[in-house]
Structure 1
Amino acid sequence: MSENPFEALSAPTGEERDGTAAEKAFRSEKPQRVKRFYRGASASANEAGDFVVLLDSRPLRTPGKAIVRLPTESLAALVAAEWEAQAVEVDPATMPLTRLVNAAIDGVEGNVAPVRDEMIRYAGSDLLCYRADEPEGLVAMQMAAWDPILAWAETALGARFVLAAGVMPVEQSEGAIAAVDRALPQAPALLVAALQSLTTLTGSVLVTLALHHGRIGFDEAWNAAHIDEDWNIRLWGADREAAERRRFREAEARAAAAVVTSLRGNAQGSGKTRAAGE
């Protein structure tokens, strides 16, 4: 049997490709481009009630060879759009949602507990709890963006956090940590993966939870996570390489937020959510 998880998805041209190229491309920390091997991509409902992505007439698979099954039509359409947008070569770096879905199915499914534990650890040193004591403008920006989220966390989650000036660590209460634990979902794997991605990209599980619960939107969340960085840009200007990294990270975060928003709407509409790949 070929090691290439995309073998069944080849365009019907008969053209030979490296048997492991596509798999390596999506597993690499620095994704490599591979030649486009399909004519078109589309989303399609299946008999199980979820949605698949078709490359030509064959279902998209993860690097682990699982068929990609998504719980909402909107997510399937977004994944299909990433594949359809590829030109002569498939560039995984431009496909953040596909990579997130792959990670959820191949990595997070069956391993949710350690992923949640990583997010819970953020509560002990959340970005929102560490404040500048000067300059006055930065202090005001942090208060305006962060205090409403902390107030929401206390009211909605029962989590009261202690603030600190500077970078000296401050210990949070067991009750606050436990409240974050209760607020984080345990399923489906795709949602947990998306929340974990947002937490690491923003540096704040509280920002992530506020987005997850609909308290804030993506732009507000992303801006809140970059108060300090934006302040420094105002003072010193933007670095081109840093700006490029930030754009890449924002694309990753937007993909994760799209999952969170779609699954929240699906759960409200149906009372339950299927796991990706289920």
Structure 2
Amino acid sequence: MAHRKNADHNELRRVLRNGSYWLEYQPILTADGDTIAMEALLRLPDFLGAQPIGYVIGLAGELGALPELGKGVIRRACAQLRYWMDAGISGVRICVNTCAKELLDDGYLAQMERVLVEFGLSAGDVEIELTERDAIELERSGSNVIEQLRARGFMVSLDDFGTGYSSLSYLRALPVTTIKLDKSFLRGVPANGDANAVVRMVIQLAHDLRLNVIAEGVESVEQASFLGSAGCGAFQGFLYTPALAVDEATARLRGHQSGSGLTPA
């Protein structure tokens, strides 16, 4: 195991040195079929590419390379958004995943500001996604970085909402704009009445707290129909499209940005 971990550290160093990672993009759509955001997802080559992304983030943390990796991802994602804007694609923001360790880096906020200036973007063009576990870690550490991001105009969403242990007790205290319902919420929906009741309750709670709701992992028309009737505002999942290579994402944005309805890809 130690040999494997050492090999993985060396491989990640090589990937970062060569810049041989890339991003894919998964659309987030409204009930009307408008693409309102593209979530940037990190991809790596060879053995690392077959591992859960959490494992790779852990390796980067052990190497002290999270700031470097995060900076590379946000620059590539914002460069891509700039390209789309220059191509006449409007009304789409970019969503980038991060974690508590990255957000606690002293240079994080300044780095975000530099990237916005470099690509001529506003803070509202970028949404920062972090899991509720990471958000709670930030809250417990006394950090106010989420507040600072919000004050600068960034949107901040709680990813994989519902997989942590303190969701409801922390939700009102965290200054986020959006919750992304984890796909585990959709098990049994819409056939199971109890599952439906939980989803309706969470969506209503989010609305009462003035939060947007995005449903992740939507796989069937029936699920999408139920979520829409329950008040969910946006959708993401294999029903529409998996994560796409950049050329495919660009083609989809050009052809499906508006008016296409919530239909499978």
Range into which the TM-score falls when normalised by the shorter chain: under 0.3
Q: Give 1 or 2 for the bigger CA radius of gyration.
A: 1
After TM superposition, the score normalised by the length of structure 1 is: 0.22
**Which structure shows the bigger proportion of residues in strand conformation?**
2
Greater share of residues in helix: 1
Greater length-normalized contact order (CA 8 Å, ≥ 6 residues apart): 2
TM-score normalised over the length of structure 2? 0.23
